[in-house]
Structure 1
Amino acid sequence: MEAVVATKPVITVAALCGSLRKGSFNRGLLRSAIQICNESINGIKIEYIEIAPLPMLNTDLEVNGTFPPVVEAFRQKIREADSVLFASPEYNYSVTAPLKNAIDWASRPPNVWADKAAAIVSAGGGFGGGLSQYHLRQIGVYIDLHFINKPEFFLNAFQAPSKFDSDGNLIDMATKAKLKEVLLSLQAFTLRLQSKC
């Protein structure tokens, strides 16, 4: 009789980058996260979701309870995801305008962020994006996102250039290992939250 090997269910992760710049180190972190999951973590599927096409939040664009098609498509991607991975650079001690805009669109009733697990990684800023992360955590309280507490991931702007190649791909193995720890923590926390539903 063959032994039955238990496998973890596959969780889907929506990955959002707060920087619109194609060469952004934060975007590079998300590319690396996708690669890490594909190569060495079973049970996680990350989908990068572009926020650049979203119009600025304007409730005049909501007609009879519907949203513009690009907004509805974005909201549907968040709704379908089990958890969220934010790459949040720091602009003026806070999250970026494009990221806040995306968060606000998806929080419009019905709030599609509610009860999802989330994690944050950051590259940039004197504190490595720490202030933007803490502000994002405050926003998460109101929209019912549940962030992992540890490990935290901050990559200082002065260190970042040496960790990436000329194409913006993460090449530093120690940083990749820290990123993998974040992903494993997000996976475990997501499954724990789902088991309580």
Structure 2
Amino acid sequence: MAAAQPIKVVALCGSLRKASYNRGLIRAATEICKESIKDVQIEYVDISPLPLLNTDLEVEGTYPPVVEAFRQKILRADSVLFASPEYNYSVSAPLKNAVDWASRPPNVWADKAAAIVNAGGGGARAQYHLRQIGVFLDLHFINKPEFFLNAFQPPQKFDSDGDLIDADNRERLKQLLLSLRAFTLRLKREG
């Protein structure tokens, strides 16, 4: 019997800051999968090179090369991990821009499992707004566990490089990844 293919997860961070705590969550998720959820492979996809969505950049059904490369990574993935900071009660502009580019015809988000993490002082409104956006895109978010981390409340959860050092939150993140893994497998079986 052939070994099962690994579950491919693309991870997007809505913050462009290098030491972003949200990006730190993606690094921690990648480490957790390498250590203990070996059939899940996370690929961080940098959204900073994407131009602002402008349909004038679409020429005869094609997209700029950087946009098409991004869309192909989403298309080839089994599921998505969003690290979404909250800006003005919503998702960040860079993340919304990335979501919109990948939704252009044909929508490459459709029928993928997804999860959202957040590190900051809030995040619930951004997560729920992203879930609303996902309804139109046919993204299927896990319901539980939800992951909100107040990075600014003691004790210290991240080091000076933005890496998650808090063991309890690493375990919570692992539980979210296991839920994403199970939901992804369920969707693949049903598909």
After TM superposition, the score normalised by the length of structure 2 is 0.97
Q: Aligned to 1:163, what secondary structure does the other structure show? A: coil
Picking from 83, 106, 125, the partner of 2:79 is 83
Picking from 34, 37, 55, the partner of 1:38 is 34
Picking from 158, 164, 169, the partner of 1:175 is 169
Q: CA RMSD in A?
A: 1.5
Distance 1:70 1:20 in 2: 17
CA gap 1:108/1:160 in 2 versus in 1, 3 angstroms = farther
Residue in 2 that maps onto 1:70: 66
User: Identity percentage over the alignment?
Assistant: 74
Distance 1:133 1:37 in 2: 23
- Larger gyration radius, structure 1 or structure 2: 1
1:159 offset after TM fit, Å? 2.4
After TM superposition, the score normalised by the length of structure 1 is 0.94
The yes-or-no answer on 1:136 pairing with 2:130 is yes
The yes-or-no answer on 1:108 pairing with 2:113 is no
TM alignment of 1:149-188, pairs within 5 A: 149-159=143-153, 162-188=156-182
Distance 1:161 1:64 in 2: 54
Structure 1 residues not aligned, in runs of 5+ = none
1:160 offset after TM fit, Å? 7.5
Picking from 170, 190, 196, the partner of 2:190 is 196
Distance 2:40 2:8 in 1: 6
Q: Aligned to 2:42, what secondary structure does the other structure show? A: strand
1:18 offset after TM fit, Å? 0.2
Distance 1:56 1:161 in 2: 38
Residue in 1 that maps onto 2:15: 19
Residue in 1 that maps onto 2:6: 10
Structure 2 residues not aligned, in runs of 5+ = none
Q: Which runs of 4+ in 1 moved over 3 A?
A: 6-9
